[in-house]
Chain A
Amino acid sequence: MSVDLVIAIIITLVGASTPILIAALGELVVEKSGVLNLGVEGMMLTGAVVGFAATYTTGSPWLGVLAAGFAGMAVSMIFAVLTLTLSSNQVATGLALTIFGTGFSALFGQPYTGKPIDLFRSVFPPELAMHPIFKVVFGYSPLAYFSLIMVFAVWWFLHRTRAGLILRAVGESDISAHSIGYPVIGVRYLAVAFGGAMAGIGGSCFPLILTPQWVEGLTSGRGWIALALVVFAAWKPGRLLIGAYLFGLIATMELYAKAAGGAFRILPSELWASLPYLATILVLVLFSLRAKGRTGAPACLGKPFVPMN
């Protein structure tokens, strides 16, 4: 294998992993606060279409990402009001959010179908990325660096700050946190908003760094894979990074298999396309075997909390 090919694979891999990693980091924080938001796929689709539209209209991918984050946050608030203020069933509400996001993106994206935008490319001067080794460091979209910074930021926030400690306390024991005087519902609102923004930004990666156009349902289940990754990562940001890059590798293999032919042709392309989903199931099984019941899930995950006073 030539150096160029390895570098090309690494760059494709990072690109393919970035949307899942960003969305999963957001969901990790949401779940750490004790809330299970199954609407990631819907929020990603919303972010994808709004990010595309904003980039197409303004010509600035930076504004596109910003708009995608706000859009994801806005739709996550539907979920927050229903589950936190009205204490509705989190599973059902998350599903409803995904159905809503699918419909919203299909409607909102209709006028943009078939229109081109520029990819959100590296902001470093091209001379820096000339040499293959430098390309591995400087050759990515800003969104890829953002995802890596956020891995650290989320870890630091959860484990090194007081606010992170409160968030984890709320997720582990809502009643105790409430009785100490922490605003359980308020903390969860903020966590859901953060998760929505991250899912929206993650969704915007699809049109901005993967395929520079709007296609209905373009996230094709990546939001669900992000949810699975949070379980696989045992709610640890560092392991989320490993998991996301593992899936990036599988997705990259699929792309190269389609292009390369030869030995890859033995397997039909539909099987390659199924691999990320099959691998997700496999990973969940392996994780469950290893965890033996101790999954590391926040104790209050998915349970509604209603203040008693």
Chain B
Amino acid sequence: MPIKLEKRPQPSRLMIYLTPVLAVALTMIIGGIVFSLIGFDGFGAVREIFFAPLINTLKWQDLAVKAAPLVIIAVGLSIGYRANVWNIGAEGQYILGGLAATGIALMTKDMSGPWILPLMALAGIAGGMAWVAVPAWLRTRFQVNEILTTLMLTYVSINLLNYLVFGPWKSPHAFGQPQTISFSADQSLPYIIPGTIVQAGAPIAIIIVFIAWFVVSRSLFGFQIKTVGAAPFAARHAGFSASQTIWIALLVSGGLAGLAGMLEVAGPFGRMVPQFPTNYGFTAIIVAFLGRLHPVGILIAGIVLAITFVGGEVAQTTIAFPYPAVGIFQSMMLFFLLAGDVLVRYRLRLRGSTPAGSTSGEAQA
């Protein structure tokens, strides 16, 4: 190994902010080269995916629509990740939130009033929380790994969704299509900016970012989360309960994912369909890391990931670039970010002539 790692006395703050930017830049450069090598218009794709949605102001409303659920879910996930609680089944909690909101919408289909939408939002939050409560209980009561349980429940939630829209919830007016009836005006999110497709999801995402920012940096709970994640023993001495932290972290992330599900079904979808799972729950994991688990960082990262989604659609129509390649660009950002993490904690030194393992025996003694 030609490179040697030398631990920094403390993490480099400069690198914490710089590495996400580097990761995105490297993704464009390396991604462009790799896709060119395998026969695509690699740099054309980078231009269309990363820059076209920014240059074309008409696309900004699409960015707001796509970024909102990503940011909302990622803010919730980041709270758990800070405490080393790995909810990776946000997709399932998002689906359950959407289903719970749909349930309210179907129950209130003959009613009207401004109370319906808030009720749907509460149901969405409750649905996401209920779905994550199972892994939370299993983790705190039986020490069952939440990574596996949250993920398993995601597959179950997709089956539940299919059961409902192909079965009991299927609209009688949809000519056999598996979908629920369309939501009424009282069950749909209002448009915030007239003449655009931007609904209430975007401002709600921004509000959540600022609430989370306050909680993480100013409240005792924010400190508790960081301590439990970084120094579990110290946290125990400080009287912070590990299982309470796990419960709160999971309920917050599940609730926010559920809220995102409600905002999607009452927003862009307008009814429940089998296509509802759009992988926002998984992409939000990238958003959380790229945003350095910080609410404001997540807001920026959410917009970056939204750009790649919208840009992927642009590249598909303008230069016939295959849409699934967007997933590769997105995971490359995460790879480069994780690789860059080493710069935060270590200095890289070229290894001189010191033979490996020669001094370790003395170090041991």
Contact = CB atoms under 8 A, between A and B. Distances in A.
Interface in B335-365: 335, 338-339, 341-342, 345-346, 354, 356-361, 363-364
Interface string A265-309: 000101101100110110011001100010000000000001111
A228 B148 contact: yes
Given A271-B163, A307-B360, A309-B354, A280 B341 contact: no
A92 B338 contact: yes
A95 B354 CA distance: 35
A277 B155 contact: yes
A99 B363 contact: no
Contacts of B356: 307, 309
Contacts of A104: 327-328
Given A96-B334, A270-B162, A309-B360, A293 B143 contact: yes
Interface string B318-331: 00001011111011
A78 B34 CA distance: 15
A121 B296 CA distance: 55
A161 interface: no
A163 interface: no
Nearest to B358: A309
Given A87-B5, A273-B159, A107 B151 contact: no
Interface stretch (A5-13, A125-133, A219-227): A219-227
A220 B325 CA distance: 20
Given A227-B148, A228-B148, A281-B144, A274 B156 contact: yes
Contact of B149 (A82, A96, A274, A284): A284
A107 B360 contact: no
Interface stretch (B110-118, B121-129, B265-273, B281-289): B281-289
Contact of A91 (B1, B7, B147, B324): B147
B327 A99 contact: yes
Contacts of B360: 178-179, 307-309
B167 interface: yes
A103 B323 CA distance: 9
Interface residues of A, number: 54
Interface string B184-222: 000000000000000000000000000000000000000
A82 B322 contact: no
Contacts of A228: 148, 152
A86 interface: yes
Interface string A223-266: 01101100100000000000000000000000000000000000
A57 interface: no
> What 8 pairs between A and B have smallest CB-CB spacing?
A103-B327, A106-B324, A100-B331, A270-B163, A270-B159, A88-B338, A277-B152, A107-B324
